Structures are given as structure tokens and as C-alpha cells.
Amino acid sequence: MSDPVRSGGDGLSGFGLNGLMLDQLEVHRLGYIEDRGRFTWNVGYRITHDDETAFCLVVNDITLYEVSGDPDEANEATGTDLERETVASHVETDGDGEDEPTPVASLRVAHMVLFSKPEGAVSQNQRAELLRVARMAVHPLVRAHILTLTSDLGFPPLTLPLLHYRSMPAAIDLDAAESSLDGA
């Protein structure tokens, strides 16, 4: 028994959220954070559908980096600080080895979201709306996993920012990313 998901425009009228489950949780610890840290956060997704079901896979990849620098700039309470990098997929440096960030952990959290769907093809607008609804449903779980994992690993607990429906950051379509890699 599922409630239809409602939204504006042609949206998701007739769709129902049927399931939300953790698909993969992967942690690789590579080091420690002694002074300051930064993190990068990428979101990838894949949407597929058949006659009755739409399936959305949402993958959140987080990498923590140790950054050398003045400890006075670090969080006074814990002696460490985690701040988000301005680049989405990697940390770039100017080639000076002294300031080069060192990866200390990578975390991957993947969730599957299942929707029942009305008959017919899924439009591009519906596809985009499915992703938005799936990401909003998954995000509280991802935030809880990342907060717990970073704390359990002995890092400063990392709380991802809240998502706001209207200003949601972009995600990477894993189907498109794989297609472009195949041709390279």
C-alpha cells in the first residue's frame, strides 16, 4: 500500500513510493586527521523502469582529506575541523607538495528507491522529479550514516548539509558517465 508522490507540473502524478533500502555501504580508511580536514561529496544516480516499476539508485561518495596548515585555524573544541571543498569531484593543488591534501578515508553509501508507476513511458520531467524525490528520501539516511561512520572511524563527526528541494545540487547520471567512458 503506497501513497502517490505529489509534486508540481506534470510531476509524479500516479507514482507511488514502494521501497527505500540500503544497497551498499563501503568504507576505506587510509589514515588519520591530525590538524585539519576537508571533504568532497559526489552524488551519482541511475534511473531505470519497466512496465510497472521505476527504480532509482542514489550513490553518495565522500572522501575525507587531511590538510596541513596552521592548527590555530582548526576547530578549537576538537583540534580538527572538516570543511567542504569547493570542487565537486577532487581536490586540486598548485603542485606544491607541502599543501597537497592527503586522502584519509573514502565512504560510499548507495540506496535503492522503488516507485510504482502508471502505464506509459517516463518523461524527462518525470525522470528529473523521480530523482529529486529519491534524493530527498535518501538524504536523511545518508547524513546519519556519514555522521556515525566518521565518528566511529575516529574523525571529527561530519554532518552533511541539509538538502533544500528547490536548490538541490546537481547529480551525475551514472548511465551517461558510463556511456561517455565506453567511447573514450
What is the mean pLDDT, run by run of 10 residues, along the chain of 184 residues? 46 86 94 83 91 92 81 43 45 47 91 90 86 92 93 89 81 68 36
pLDDT (0 to 100) of residue 147: 93
Q: How far apart are CA 19 and CA 2, in angstroms?
A: 9
pLDDT (0 to 100) of residue 100: 66
pLDDT (0 to 100) of residue 22: 94
C-alpha cell at 43: 552524488
pLDDT (0 to 100) of residue 70: 53
Reported as half-sphere exposure (CB side, CA atoms, 13 A), residue 118 has a value of 11
For residue 8, give the DSSP letter. Answer: S
pLDDT (0 to 100) of residue 50: 87
Does the pTM surpass 0.85? The reply is no
pLDDT (0 to 100) of residue 2: 44
Q: How far apart are CA 25 and CA 23, in angstroms?
A: 7
Question: Which class is 16-179 in CATH?
Answer: alpha beta
**Domain parsing of the chain, residue ranges:** 16-179
pLDDT (0 to 100) of residue 81: 58
pLDDT (0 to 100) of residue 59: 95
